A and B are shown apart, each in its own frame.
Chain A
């Protein structure tokens, strides 16, 4: 375990990048959804930075994972809560680390079971590369190429820190 990164600055960078993206695409007052667990921590802070009016949604994608037959039910699964109408909404999906893209695919599937959103954007704190699906972030604070035998994790909830370790 090494290279602890300061997260507060990254959150600020991400908020700026996301604000620019939202402006460029003419999206006003989107709904925000954080993916459990790290994505919710990032989304809570982003939500404050951007001063969004709709309450923050949280998603636990355990029931939508593509590896259920190998790993079974996540013992720590929490209920998903989307306290707003998804139908026709512009949505910012937030996660801590973008890696294979499988989590985002599962999250999109779950969101569509709530309704048909207008647009979905993806904001991530870190894009570490090694994608396995055609998925990309619309806003990102830190891009790095990590080999598959290393992992980057967000520890929290208070304070947040990024940790790189060999898996």
Chain B
């Protein structure tokens, strides 16, 4: 049984893109497409979640993700409360379950959870009250499903169908919840070929089992791809023995204009942000004509509106 779905197969929580049926992934993208029109109105809101309360539970700081979730909830007319837990109860030794019970006592309808531990959002979803939905806004190295879906949305807008596409994900796959969620979403949507490009030290064991082709050489891996997805290089990885210097990383795996030219002429360049210019991507490429990095940010709002309204629709009226 999939914790994310209700008994009718509708989205109840959104925790991972893994194992979701293609129709549901497509429904999220289609619904987001409809919501993208909302910003064209003078009142940039729809009354769908009027009277509902969404709580952003961020155990790990992330200004942009929290802001787009907040904006999405507000455009759906929900009330939003932002809780920065890392600076409050967690320090006082309150357990995750204690925190959850306390917040539930405040009659919230949805928790948007970002946590440094893999599985935190699942844990909350398993213990949440029947009428409450949980959205995973990033958990440890595990998943960041709304980021993956906004990337899918951006790809579909530029490229249409997924079947003929060749997509390369470049960088620190090992530590990236974004990459994992993207790979599951791309395979779920039937993408033609998913490639991962990284040094051995930044690839999980048996990464092929996720349904990807592995390249250690970026110049080979980028050849004839339709989409290039760069990952952010966490600078703290440099401290460990995983990587040589930043300049050496850029020389071997950084995205330069010359390397973009190896892909198809109409290839798009994506990055979940924030970019480390000169480390994983050249400034001129990040701001170049093939970059859709800022569109990804814009699309994040419509996609999060879609996920929130679908999940809240499935939970229905609270008793």
Contact = CB atoms under 8 A, between A and B. Distances in A.
Interface of A: 60, 62-64, 68-73, 75, 77-81, 87, 109-110, 112-115
Interface in B130-147: none
B42 A114 contact: yes
A70 B316 contact: yes
B34 A77 contact: yes
Nearest to A115: B42
B313 A81 contact: no
Given A69-B317, A81-B37, A75 B27 contact: yes
Given A73-B31, A73-B309, A63 B317 contact: no
Interface residues of B, number: 23
8 contacts: A60-B34, A68-B48, A69-B316, A70-B317, A72-B314, A87-B42, A113-B43, A114-B43
Given A63-B46, A75-B27, A79-B33, A68 B41 contact: no
Given A72-B310, A73-B31, A80-B37, 15 more contacts: A60-B34, A63-B34, A63-B35, A63-B47, A63-B48, A69-B317, A70-B316, A72-B10, A72-B316, A73-B48, A75-B30, A77-B31, A79-B33, A112-B43, A113-B42
B100 to A, nearest CB: 23
Contacts of B317: 69-70
Is chain B's interface secondary structure helix, strand, loop, or mixed overall? helix
B42 A68 contact: no
A54 B236 CA distance: 58
A113 B45 contact: yes
Nearest to A86: B42
A113 B27 CA distance: 25
Nearest to B24: A75
Contacts of A112: 43
Given A73-B310, A73-B313, A64 B34 contact: no
A96 B47 CA distance: 24
A62 B306 CA distance: 13
A4 B70 CA distance: 50
Interface string B23-40: 000010011011111100
Contacts of B38: 63
A79 B36 contact: yes
A5 to B, nearest CB: 32
Contacts of A60: 34
A63 B43 CA distance: 14
Contacts of B31: 73, 77
